[in-house]
Amino acid sequence: MSRSKPHLAVTLGDPAGIGPEVILKALADKSLTSKCEITLIGHRQILQQTYKKLKSISSDLAHPDDFNLLEIEQNEHLDKITPGSGNLASGAASFAYLETAITQTLAGKFHAIVTAPIAKTHWKAAGHHYPGQTELLAEKAGIKRFGMLFVAKSPQTNWTLRTLLATTHIPLSEVPTTLTPELLSLKLDLLIECLAEDFGIKNPKIAVAGLNPHSGENGQLGTEEKDWIIDWIKQQTVRYPQLQLDGPIPPDTLWVKPGQAWYNSAKNAHDAYLALYHDQGLIPVKLMAFDRAVNTTIGLPFIRTSPDHGTAFDIVGKGIADASSMKAALQFATELANQRLKNISS
C-alpha cells in the first residue's frame, strides 16, 4: 500500500442507528476528507435512504455517491431493517461490515478502520456472540493483547485525556475477580507502548485508580488494594524505571486533576489514566468529552478508531445526531496513520 494520504475504511455500524447519519455529516467536512482517502463499507441503499431523509433538515451532509463504497453483498434481510430500532437484520449487517473491513485491512487495502457504533444485543440476535467490536477485531487479527483506550483533546486547554479501561464489557460483579496482577500488567505494557509509539511520550506519568471507595481505606472498605494492587504498583516501577506510576488513587478524587486540566490548567495532570472498570473510566470521559472522545483499540496490527457514543436509536432520522465524535475518530485515525508511516520511514 503506497499512498500519500492514509486510506481509511469506514464501516456504517448498525444501519438502524445514527452511524450512517454521523458519517454523512462528518464527510461534509472538507478539512477532514482532504487529508485522507475514504472507503465506506456497508449498503448503498442505507446511505441513500439516510441522505434522502435528512437532506432537507441537515445543511451539512455529504452525498454518499461522492465517496468510494465497498458494497456488502449479504443483503437478504435488508428490507427488514427499520431505522430507529435495530434487530437481527441490522445486527447481521453491521457484523458483515466490520468483518469485511478487517479482512480487507489485513490484506493491506486500508491503513485504518473507523467504525460507527453497533448494538451488542443485535449482534447477539444475529448469532454473533461478542461483547463488542473490539473483541471481533482482536480475534480476526489473531491477537490476545489488546486494550480499549479513550482519547480526547480539550478545546479549552489543548490537554489530551487518555483513559485505558482495564476491564470492559463484563458485569460489575465480575470486575474484582477478573482483575489480576497479570491483566493489569498486560494493560500497562500496552499503554506504555502506545504512549511511546503513537504519542511520542517515552517517560510517561500514569495514574491507576483504586477499586474500592477511598481505595479500600486500609482494608476497611474493600481489600483488593491492600491484598495486591499496592504491591503490583510498586513492582511496576522496578519493571519500568522511567515510569511514574501513581496509585491506587481513590476513584472519586482521581478525576479532579484531569478535570482541572481539561477546563483550566494541565499542571500536575498525568499522561494517561488506568481505570479498573468500564463506568469508572467512561463516566468522567463522557462528562468532559462526550462530543469529542475517540475510542481506539490498542495492540492491533492496524489502527482502529470509533466515536465514543452508541447507536442512539432514540434520535435516528431526526437530523439532530452530533457528528463531532465521528469527526474526531476520522481525524485521529488519519493522525495515527501518518504517525505510524513516519515511524516506519525513520
Ligand X SMILES: NC(=O)C1=CN([C@@H]2O[C@H](COP(=O)(O)OP(=O)(O)OC[C@H]3O[C@@H](n4cnc5c(N)ncnc54)[C@H](O)[C@@H]3O)[C@@H](O)[C@H]2O)C=CC1
Annotated binding-site members for a divalent metal cation? 169, 214, 278
**Smallest distance from ligand X to CB 278, Å:** 10
- Which residues are documented as binding site for substrate? 134, 286, 295, 304
Which range, of 1-9, 45-53, 226-234, 305-313, touches ligand X by CB under 6 A? 305-313
Binding residue for ligand X, selected from 25, 43, 120, 304, defined by CB under 6 A: 120
DSSP single-letter state for residue 87 = -
**CA proximity to 198, closest of 232, 164, 166:** 164
**Range 132-191, binding ligand X (CB under 6 A):** 133
- The reply to whether 117 sits near ligand X by the rule CB under 6 A is yes
| Angle in degrees, CA 83, 133, 82, rounded to 5 | 10
* Residue given cell 500500500 in the structure block: 1
Assess 310 for contact with ligand X (CB under 6 A). yes
| Residue matched to cell numbers 479549552 | 156
Joined grid coordinates for residue 117: 457504533
The single residue among 90, 105, 236, 295 that binds ligand X, judged by CB under 6 A, is 295
The answer to whether 9 and 36 have CB atoms below 8 angstroms apart is: no
For 246, how many CA atoms within 13 A lie in the half-sphere containing its CB? Answer: 16
308 vs 292: CA distance, rounded Å: 8
Cα end-to-end distance, the chain, whole Å: 18
Q: Please choose, out of 21-29, 65-73, 130-138, 200-208, the segment that lies near ligand LD2JLWAY by the rule CB under 6 A.
A: 130-138
Of 235, 248, 327, 320, the C-alpha closest to 308 is 327
Look up residue 153 and give its three cell numbers. 483533546
Q: Is 79 exposed, middle or buried (0-12, 13-18, 19+ CB in 10 A)?
A: exposed
Distances (CA, A) of 259 to 169, 176, 253, 325: 25, 27, 10, 19
* Residues in the chain, total: 346
- Total of residues contacting ligand LD2JLWAY (CB under 6 A): 7
Residue from the set 58, 87, 100, 295 that interacts with ligand LD2JLWAY by CB under 6 A: 295
Among residues 16, 9, 25, the alpha carbon closest in space to that of 45 is found at: 16
Q: Is 162 helix (H, G, I), strand (E, B) or coil?
A: strand
- Geometric angle at alpha carbon 296, from 269 and 119, rounded to 5°: 125
Decide whether 269 or 285 has the Cβ nearer to ligand X.
Answer: 285
In the bound state with ligand X, the residue whose beta carbon lies nearer, of 82 and 260, is 82
Residue of closest CB approach to ligand X: 310
Cis bond leading into 248, ω under 30°? Answer: yes
List the x/- string, 311-330, binding to ligand X by CB under 6 A.
xx-xx-----xx--------
How far is Cα 67 from Cα 37, in angstroms, rounded to an integer? Answer: 9
Residue 132 vs 216, nearer CB to ligand LD2JLWAY = 132
**Residue placing its CB nearer to ligand LD2JLWAY in the complex, 87 or 134:** 134
**Cβ closest to ligand X, residue 119 vs residue 261:** 119
Which residue, 257 or 309, is less far from ligand LD2JLWAY as judged by CB? 309
Selected binder of ligand LD2JLWAY within 134, 167, 325, 331 (CB under 6 A) = 134
Among 8, 12, 22, 40, which residue sits at the site for ligand X (rule: CB under 6 A)? 22
Is residue 297 part of the contact set for ligand X (CB under 6 A)?
no
- Residue nearest to ligand LD2JLWAY according to CB distances in the complex: 132
| Min CB(300)–ligand LD2JLWAY separation in Å | 12
- Positions in the binding site for ligand LD2JLWAY (CB under 6 A): 118, 132-134, 282, 295, 306
- Positions in the binding site for ligand X (CB under 6 A): 18, 22, 117-121, 133, 295, 306, 309-312, 314-315, 321-322
